[in-house]
Amino acid sequence: MSDAAAWDARYGDGGFAFGEAPNRGLEALLPRLRPGMRALALGDGEGRNGVWLAERGLAVTSVDWSAAGMAKAAALAARRGVALRTVTADLTQWDAPVGAFDLIAWVYVHLPPDDRAVVAAKAVRALARGGLLFLEGFTPAQEGRRSGGPRDPALLWTGSLARQHFAGLELLECLEGTVLLDEGPKHQGHAEVVRALFRAP
């Protein structure tokens, strides 16, 4: 799936494709989170990660090009009684504010190489001083597994690609290997991922 309409179709049913619970790697950031931090959830889909951050007291902006996803994110936030700013936009076109976020969550957003470079540069600029960037994505070792991810290998992440795109940031943590996913119907089972945390100087 590579365009907004395809994601709208995927999000069109009543369920949550990746569940309503946050990504486990993001959840592990809890000790680093403080109420009032400004967070950006990139490609937030149906909002599971943005809403979880909002529940921790963060001021969250969710961006995704799927209007159906953003509508479900807004509804999930309302149901949980938290504020969530949703923006329906293509990340490559979105005018990201500069120096505006203390945390950026980039969870399972797999972009074509040129777009990935554009969005990564924007993300780096959007971080405030000392801001954190959390990344989790599938790696090429995921091929053959049925636990999710894009078919096109050009869209996949590696640790070295992450270090390259976020070279201006300090690498705090990086795991590249096998995890057990339990994230809605679309991410089930063992998976090959990179999970990394960077910090802006």
Ligand X SMILES: C[S@@+](CC[C@H](N)C(=O)[O-])C[C@H]1O[C@@H](n2cnc3c(N)ncnc32)[C@H](O)[C@@H]1O
* Residues contributing to the site for ligand X (CB under 6 A): 7, 18, 23, 43-45, 48-49, 64-66, 69, 90-92, 107-109, 111, 115
Tell the smallest beta-carbon distance from residue 15 to ligand X (Å).
Answer: 13
Q: Which is nearer to ligand X, 69 or 129 (CB)?
A: 69
Question: Rounded to whole angstroms, how far apart are CA atoms 60 and 52?
Answer: 10
Residue 154, both tokens: 């050009």
Q: Which is nearer to ligand X, 64 or 201 (CB)?
A: 64
Question: Rounded to whole angstroms, how far apart are CA atoms 55 and 190?
Answer: 28
Tell the smallest beta-carbon distance from residue 65 to ligand X (Å).
Answer: 4
Tell the smallest beta-carbon distance from residue 123 to ligand X (Å).
Answer: 12
Q: Which is nearer to ligand X, 64 or 102 (CB)?
A: 64
Tell the smallest beta-carbon distance from residue 142 to ligand X (Å).
Answer: 13
Tell the smallest beta-carbon distance from residue 172 to ligand X (Å).
Answer: 21
Question: Rounded to whole angstroms, how far apart are CA atoms 92 and 94?
Answer: 6
Q: Can you state the angle between helices 48-55 and 67-80, rounded to 10 degrees?
A: 30
Residue 168, both tokens: 């201006």
Q: Which is nearer to ligand X, 52 or 129 (CB)?
A: 52
Q: Which is nearer to ligand X, 170 or 182 (CB)?
A: 182
